[in-house]
Structure 1
Amino acid sequence: MSDSVPFTGDPADTHEAIMHGTFFALKEYGYAELSIQRISNELNLSKSTLYHHFSGKEDLLLSFFDFLLDHLEQFYESGSINEPQKAISDIIDALLNENITPKKRSAEGEVLAMYVELRSQAIRDAKYRERIAKADQRFIGQVATIINTGIDQGVFQAVEPEETAEFLLAVLHGILIQGTTRESVPYQQLHQNLTEYLQAELFVE
């Protein structure tokens, strides 16, 4: 995942520059304390420039959430479905990573932490729920495609691809929430448990 971490390097255009500034302002202040003024300060731009592109903080953050979702989707789709076991393992390795915990958070971990922080807005906001529903379905579809390929190759058992993908999504999201909100998580044990599940229920020996 490190090869595709956003917010590194020079932005390609104004929109991407604003996404970069939002990332660093959100990292410093968090969702509750974030404001258009603080984002504009991060970018060394006037507030009027941001209002030219977005109607306000919520509009900007929805666009930023879309940007994060696009990045995560590109990562999930980057693995070769012709190597289904590796593709599934790569997704698990990226999310079962102690570098997302608060004290050890890496650049990749910060991206995932912001995803969790913004995803939580869906509790009250239908606009976030709509985006999450679509993103989750794309993830499930991608993982189901990988599983179907594995079944066709004879390296996966004849499971129900979408049900298995839905289960993996639920497990990985649960671990991701724990990892971004707790000081420590037993990643090695969780990784071993999930690997044992895959070996018993999905992979063909």
Structure 2
Amino acid sequence: MSPEADGGTGHGAETSRPTRRVAGRRTQADRRARTRSALLEAAARGLSRHGYANLVLERVAAEAGYTRGALYHQFAGKEELALAVVRWVDETWAAEVGDQAAAEADPVAGLMLMARGHAVYCRRDVAGVIRVLAIEFAGRDHPVARELSRILGKLTGDVERRIAEGRRSGAIPPGPPAADTARACLGAMEGLVSHDLIGPPHDVELAERAVRGVLGLPPAGPRPSVTAR
């Protein structure tokens, strides 16, 4: 076959090269994303267990299956890694818990979804990041402390708004200021799921009971057990 018949040998070779380059870039981006995800998860486990001060970057890299150099290729240092972990945990919590609760039109049902979903989410070994770092950075002026304040402030505000909605509709009885009640709801949930001896399936039921109690609501009827995702 002549070059003219198949569109020209030179042109055929030229059109194949960009495809290979795009595939190469995609593969490299995929590898980078997998590396970043593995490092974030390993760092989240380390922060949950040991806190920020005791986080060892070499150990994080080794647990993720990479070298320290690979970690520094992704993150400039411990502070940047911790900030990325905090945002990653916030994003995963929103995807698995917060977004579903926010989509529920009924404020009480939304708050119960949040309580149950939070209990399930906290079965994961990376779920203690926010709690551990909030204690470690309490009262400090630090980028991690400021990011935690932003995340927790938004969450508290969302819960406060749902409580105010429920009180306006009569679904939630009057009580202490909605902002204080929101903090109490979150504190009750977090205190319960942080207890090592309370596990599935009772963590979900007790989390809902705790929030209902803070809101002044009667206990709900029995629910089917919730399994870990």
TM-score scaled by structure 1? 0.66
Q: Does 1:113 align with 2:128?
A: yes
The percent identity for this pair of structures is: 16
Q: Could you say which structure has the larger radius of gyration?
A: 2
Which structure has more RCO (C-alpha within 8 Å, separation ≥ 6)? 1
Structure with higher helix content: 1
**What secondary structure does 2:105 align onto?**
coil
Quick check: 1:41 aligned with 2:56?
no
CA distance in 1, matches of 2:66, 2:167: 53
Is the partner of 1:111 in helix, strand or coil?
coil
RMSD (Å), alpha carbons? 3.7
Q: Deviations over 1:17-60 (max 9, x none)?
A: 32123234446x62354311111112222212211222222321
Q: How many positions carry a matched residue from both structures?
A: 181
Corresponding residue for 2:148?
A: 132
Counterpart of 2:98 (choices 46, 69, 76) is 76
Give the match for residue 24 of structure 2.
Answer: none
The residue type equivalent to 2:183 in the other structure is L
- The one-letter amino acid of 2:100's match is S
| d(CA) in 2 for partners of 1:11, 1:90 | 35
TM-score with structure 2 length normalisation?
A: 0.60
**Using the alignment, how far apart are the partners of 1:17 and 1:193 within structure 2?**
34
Deviations 1:180-205 (A, max 9, x none): 2564699777854642443459xxxx
Paired with 1:195 and 1:146, the residues of 2 have a C-alpha distance of 13
Q: 8 Å contact 1:121–1:128 — kept in the other structure?
A: no
Structure 1: runs of 5 or more not aligned = 1-9, 101-105
Of residues 67, 85, 98 in structure 1, which corresponds to 2:108? Answer: 85
Residues 58-111 of structure 1, C-alpha deviation per residue, up to 9 Å, x if partnerless? Answer: 3211221121123234422322241222101112234467x95xxxxx32xx33
